Amino acid sequence: MTATTISAESVRADVRSWATANWDPTLSLLAWRTLLLESGWAVPSWPERWYGRDLPAWADDVVRKELAACGAVSSIPSGLAGPTILEQGPDHTRERFLQPMLTGEEVWCQLFSEPTAGSDLAGLTTTAVLDGDEWVVNGQKLWNTSAHHADMGMLVARTNWDVPKHQGITYFVLPMRQPGVEIRPLKQMNYHSSFNEVFMTDARIPKDWVVGEVNQGWTAALATLAHERRFGAAVSFSRDTVDPGPAADEARAEADELRKVYSWYPQRAGRADLIVDHARSAGRTADPVVRQEAARLISMSRVSQWTADRAKANRALGRPPGAEGSIGKLATSNMARQAAKTHGLIGGANGLLAGSDPAASLDGKLAEILISVPAQSIAGGTDEIQRNILGERFLGLPREPNPGKDLPYRETRNQ
Ligand SMILES: Cc1cc2nc3c(=O)[nH]c(=O)nc-3n(C[C@H](O)[C@H](O)[C@H](O)COP(=O)(O)OP(=O)(O)OC[C@H]3O[C@@H](n4cnc5c(N)ncnc54)[C@H](O)[C@@H]3O)c2cc1C
């Protein structure tokens, strides 16, 4: 099939006929997902050599929906590590890590931010030193979602202090379950606990568990960040109705566990989907100010959808991620704030009541929205950083002053 003859309908028909012949709910989840991988239907947009079918990016979504329509379990989302390793390699990392990631046997987390290196990620100070056949890592990471149940971490660490800061970073795969890695959960102001602090004390990494090349980790880190902006907060685990059996039971247990961490994420996006019902149930649909704010929100959401569609069309044409990632992320922050403001306008002071208080707006959800929305404009790069990216990379504005940029990092940090 050539690119010009591939249609969603033909992909749907192909996967349907494959699933009809192969889906067996009595299989274990691992056995079923292995079959999916071997057939290329786990991530059909990936290359044939790496568990895919070389189909356009839109095919992943079409296939996931069609598998669900057949009552079958889908593959687990490949997250950020999957596309990064696929793009950056080298082959031995693709061979070692992609399969167990896609079967769900190994869970991943992102170990990028540090107490003094968030927006300025390249200023990181966690250090890895080669000792025989292993890298020895010392340092601290922060805000690491899901680190408490991860098997592997995408770790960026400094491997050369004697070059400018962006040039001495390496992107590693850190085995999380080892004595040198201590994970301390953090409690958030919305009472959830999704993040962790991760302390590494002489933690060990096999010598060749490097994504990309030694000291070239900044390039691989940028690839992860581009995918993070692209996927945004769209973390979803299939709630499809699946034919009963071991595969379905195991998939449900897996999704329940993963979903715990992300249960407040819809609130973080402001719950624009609840605005009209909220206004109706509060008897406020005739209020001109409420109507105006709700209409503003719905307009923002339509425009944002067009940006997302443009990005999708670019991906389908095989173009690299463009300005839409940062524009989309900023739009999501603006919508989250607008939604929280409009819900607040409707709910009034009762919106501050949390939990099971009978007077609480939206059964207490509004209180959770109000304290979760700030996270939207921080995670995956703050609003200010998105504006810097748009200004510098896409509008060609002068770059921010960066006086130490050409100096060896050791000199600027006094190490
Ligand atoms: C929900 C959520 C999930 C997260 N998950 C992870 C994860 O799994 N793994 C991980 O490694 N990290 C994670 N993070 C951390 C996140 O990437 C950082 O919080 C973020 O990059 C900002 O860094 P910081 O918190 O150190 O803030 P800082 O960088 O200290 O920024 C503080 C303020 O200064 C502003 N600022 C900083 N530099 C500039 C500049 N050059 N120009 C203009 N303004 C500037 C910022 O916009 C911000 O307002 C997560 C964060 C959230 C909220």
167 pocket-lining for ligand 1 (C-beta < 6 Å): no
| Ligand 1 atom index nearest CA of 383 | 47
Q: What pLDDT is attached to residue 139?
A: 98
pLDDT tens track for 57-91: 888 889 988 998 888 888 777 789 999 999 999 99
Nearest to 153, CA basis, from 193, 118, 114, 198: 198
Q: Taking 60 as the threshold, does the pLDDT of residue 4 lie above it?
A: no
Mutate which of 199, 382, 383 for ligand 1? The one with the most ligand atoms within 8 Å of its CB, which is 382
DSSP 229: H
Q: In whole angstroms, what is the distance from residue 145 CA to residue 149 CA?
A: 9
Alpha carbons within 13 A on the beta-carbon side of 286 = 1
Q: Lowest-pLDDT range, 123-137, 146-160, 231-245, 256-270?
A: 231-245
Q: Ligand 1 centroid to 116 CA: how many Å?
A: 10
Q: Taking 70 as the threshold, does the pLDDT of residue 235 lie above it?
A: no
Q: Ligand 1 centroid to 115 CA: how many Å?
A: 10
Backbone angles phi, psi at 395, to 5 degrees: -100, -10
Q: In whole angstroms, what is the distance from residue 172 CA to residue 135 CA?
A: 9
110 pocket-lining for ligand 1 (C-beta < 6 Å): yes
Backbone angles phi, psi at 356, to 5 degrees: -95, 10
Residue 41 near residue 18, CB atoms below 8 Å: yes
Mutate which of 143, 225, 330 for ligand 1? The one with the most ligand atoms within 8 Å of its CB, which is 143
113 pocket-lining for ligand 1 (C-beta < 6 Å): yes
Q: Ligand 1 centroid to 157 CA: how many Å?
A: 17
46 pocket-lining for ligand 1 (C-beta < 6 Å): no
Q: Judge if the upstream peptide bond of residue 185 is cis by omega within 30 degrees of 0.
A: no
Interstrand relation of 108-111 and 152-158 (parallel, antiparallel or unpaired) = parallel
Burial class (CB in 10 A: 0-12, 13-18, 19+), 298: middle
| Ligand 1 atom index nearest CA of 378 | 53
Q: In whole angstroms, what is the distance from residue 102 CA to residue 235 CA?
A: 16
Indicate which residue's Cα is closest to atom 27 of ligand 1. 118
DSSP 178: S
235 pocket-lining for ligand 1 (C-beta < 6 Å): no
127 pocket-lining for ligand 1 (C-beta < 6 Å): no
Residue 342 near residue 275, CB atoms below 8 Å: yes
Interstrand relation of 181-185 and 134-142 (parallel, antiparallel or unpaired) = unpaired
Mean pLDDT of the chain: 90
More confident site: 35 or 238: 35
Strand locations in 15-168, DSSP E?
A: 108-111, 127-131, 134-142, 152-158
Backbone angles phi, psi at 305, to 5 degrees: -60, -35
Indicate which residue's Cα is closest to atom 40 of ligand 1. 385
| Ligand 1 atom index nearest CA of 388 | 42
Q: What pLDDT is attached to residue 2?
A: 47
Per-residue pLDDT, averaged over 401-405, amounts to: 83
Q: Taking 70 as the threshold, does the pLDDT of residue 236 lie above it?
A: no
Cα 157–Cα 162–Cα 165 angle in degrees, nearest 5: 50
Mutate which of 378, 387, 392 for ligand 1? The one with the most ligand atoms within 8 Å of its CB, which is 378
**What number of residues does the chain have?**
415
pLDDT tens track for 138-159: 999 999 999 998 999 999 999 9
| Ligand 1 atom index nearest CA of 112 | 11
Q: Ligand 1 centroid to 373 CA: how many Å?
A: 14
Q: Ligand 1 centroid to 285 CA: how many Å?
A: 38
Q: Ligand 1 centroid to 379 CA: how many Å?
A: 6
123 pocket-lining for ligand 1 (C-beta < 6 Å): no
Strand locations in 88-242, DSSP E?
A: 108-111, 127-131, 134-142, 152-158, 169-175, 181-185, 196-206, 210-211
pLDDT tens track for 316-325: 777 777 888 8
Q: In whole angstroms, what is the distance from residue 356 CA to residue 358 CA?
A: 6
Q: What pLDDT is attached to residue 415?
A: 59
The CA–CA distances, whole Å, from 153 to 193, 286, 378, 382 equal 18, 51, 21, 22
| Farthest-apart Cα atoms in the chain, separation | 72
Q: Ligand 1 centroid to 255 CA: how many Å?
A: 27
Residue 284 near residue 277, CB atoms below 8 Å: no
Q: Taking 70 as the threshold, does the pLDDT of residue 303 lie above it?
A: yes
Backbone angles phi, psi at 216, to 5 degrees: -110, 20
DSSP 180: T
Q: Which residues pair with 158 in a beta bridge?
A: 127, 169
Q: Taking 80 as the threshold, does the pLDDT of residue 270 lie above it?
A: yes
Q: Supply 251's token pair.
A: 């998939």
| Ligand 1 atom index nearest CA of 117 | 26
Q: What pLDDT is attached to residue 255?
A: 81
CB within 8 A of 219, min separation 6: which ones?
Answer: 88, 212
Place of tokens 């839109």: 58
Q: What pLDDT is attached to residue 110?
A: 96
Q: Ligand 1 centroid to 208 CA: how many Å?
A: 30
What sections of 204-361 are H helices per DSSP?
217-231, 246-262, 265-268, 275-281, 288-316, 324-347
Q: What pLDDT is attached to residue 249?
A: 85
- Cβ count within 10 A of residue 58: 17
| Ligand 1 atom index nearest CA of 120 | 29
Q: Taking 90 as the threshold, does the pLDDT of residue 256 lie above it?
A: no
pLDDT tens track for 346-393: 999 988 998 788 888 888 899 999 999 999 999 888 999 999 999 999
112 pocket-lining for ligand 1 (C-beta < 6 Å): yes
334 pocket-lining for ligand 1 (C-beta < 6 Å): no
